Amino acid sequence: MTGNLVQVLLGRYAGGLATVADLSSNENLLVLCGANGNFRLICLTMSIDPPYVKVQQEYRYKLDNCIRSCKLSYDTHLLALGQDNGDINVSMLDDVSS
């Protein structure tokens, strides 16, 4: 990783052990997934002045198994989550990403 740390958004992930995360291509949506099946969608606003990153809204969800992989589509309309049991969940995020 290159660059400087801008800001710590979540000092501690209360959803358990964070297993994987993804940041949208335009850096306004962060997905943070946990070993217990919890995942968060965190809507962000970036600015050039401190604080550089602001959390606008946060959505919390839960699946039945540990999440091992996650990927947002380039346009942030789809989220794919891979679980320990082999399930791959694909969700539309139109309400969250706009």
What tokens appear for 70 in the block?
A: 């996650």
Could you report the per-residue pLDDT of 8-59, keeping only the tens digit for each? 555 556 656 788 999 998 889 999 998 889 999 999 888 788 777 888 898 9
Instruction: Evaluate whether 87 touches 38 at the Cβ level (below 8 Å).
Output: no
- Structural domain includes residue 8: no
- Structural domain includes residue 28: yes
pTM: 0.80
Residue 1: pLDDT band (50, 70, 90) is very low
- Per the structure, the complete domain to which residue 45 belongs is given by 18-97
What distance, in Å, lies between the first and last C-alpha atoms of the chain?
28
96/90: higher pLDDT: 90
79/52: higher pLDDT: 79
Number of domains in the chain: 1
